[in-house]
A and B are shown apart, each in its own frame.
Chain A
């Protein structure tokens, strides 16, 4: 079983819909990251969370440390939001290395 599980693996939505991507992890963490990966490989960090909730534009990320669960929400989705969204956790220690989920492929149709 992977230490980081994401659901769904694939998600197709119509433009304007509210999107939720879930991430569950099985280990103790010091931080959780949400990243976006476009076709061709480039990865961009969206959020880093250790508690609570963060918002940036139409993106909202929440984390529940007790339940070992995080969600990424996209409001008023747009075709340009189409990408792979990856959850990654930092498990503590001094190395700051990340353990990644497999990603959720989001396709937003116009």
Chain B
């Protein structure tokens, strides 16, 4: 158990619906990352936060995607108007700036868009 939790673990939705995922990082970690992993591929960077500030967003993160980290604790990733191509595993990781850049990963949320 790495200490990073994600909810839900699985989500099945119909195309066009909105979905929201939550990530709770290790409590003292100030950096939080979202990655997306499709079948047979390595994870791809989506966005990251340092405390509550969203400092970088990948071009993969279209305007249907939004992420927040209010108060610098948990984070949410919302996908609006889901498409079948959004089906993937969404991974969250956290790390502690200044100590090491070891990222601790959560178990992921597997999204299936029908």
Binding site for B on A (CB under 8 A): 4, 31, 33, 35, 40-45, 48, 86, 88, 90, 95-103
Contact = CB atoms under 8 A, between A and B. Distances in A.
Interface string B85-114: 000010101010100111111011010000
A1 B12 CA distance: 33
Interface stretch (B14-22, B43-51, B62-70, B75-83): B43-51
Interface size class of B (residues with CB under 8 A): 20 to 34
B31 A45 contact: no
Nearest to B56: A95
Closest 3 CB pairs of A and B: A100-B42, A41-B108, A43-B105
A101 B33 CA distance: 17
A98 B107 contact: no
Contact of B102 (A48, A97, A99, A103): A48
A87 to B, nearest CB: 8
B48 A97 contact: yes
Given A96-B31, A97-B33, A97-B56, A45 B102 contact: yes
Contacts of A48: 100-102
Nearest to B90: A41
A31 B107 contact: no
